[in-house]
Amino acid sequence: MASRAPYVVPALKKHTATVIMAHGLGDSGAGWMALAQNWRRRGMFDEVAFIFPNAPMIPITVNFGMTMPGWYDIAKLGRDLDFEEALNHQDEPGILRSRDYFNTLIKEQIDKGISPSRIVLGGFSQGGAIDRIKNYIPEDWPNKRTPFFLGHGLEDEVVKYDFGKKSAKTLTDMGLEDVQFESYANLGHSADPLEIEDLEKFLQKAIPPQGDRQDSAGL
From 156, 91, 182, 173, select the one nearest 129 (Cα to Cα).
Answer: 91
> For the whole prediction, is pTM greater than 0.85?
yes
Of 46, 189, 190, 192, the active-site residue reads: 189
Report whether 31 contacts 9 (CB < 8 A).
no
pLDDT value at residue 214: 43
pLDDT value at residue 79: 59
Is 218 a domain residue? no
Give the pairing of strands 48-52 and 7-9. Answer: antiparallel
Distance CA 77, CA 62 (A): 7
Is 212 a domain residue? no
Cα-trace Rg, the chain: 17
Is 31 a domain residue? yes
pLDDT value at residue 130: 46
Full domain range(s) for residue 139: 7-206
Is 89 tagged catalytic? no
Is 1 a domain residue? no
At 145, which amino acid appears? R
Contacts of 140 (CB under 8 A, 6+ apart): none
Mean pLDDT, each 10-residue run in order, the chain (219 residues): 84 97 92 93 96 95 92 76 62 87 95 96 72 57 86 91 88 90 95 95 96 47
Rounded to the nearest 10°, the torsion over CA 6, 33, 154, 205 is 90
Is 169 a domain residue? yes
In Å, how far are 96, 113, 184, 195 from 169, measured between CA atoms? 22, 33, 18, 20
Is 125 tagged catalytic? yes
pLDDT value at residue 80: 60
Is 214 a domain residue? no
Report whether 109 contacts 119 (CB < 8 A).
yes
pLDDT value at residue 215: 43
Is 178 tagged catalytic? no
Q: Write the CATH number for 179.
A: 3.40.50.1820
Of 27, 73, 131, 156, the active-site residue reads: 156
pLDDT value at residue 75: 82
For the chain, first and last CA: distance in Å? 22
Of 23, 27, 91, 125, the active-site residue reads: 125
Is 96 a domain residue? yes
Domain count, the chain: 1
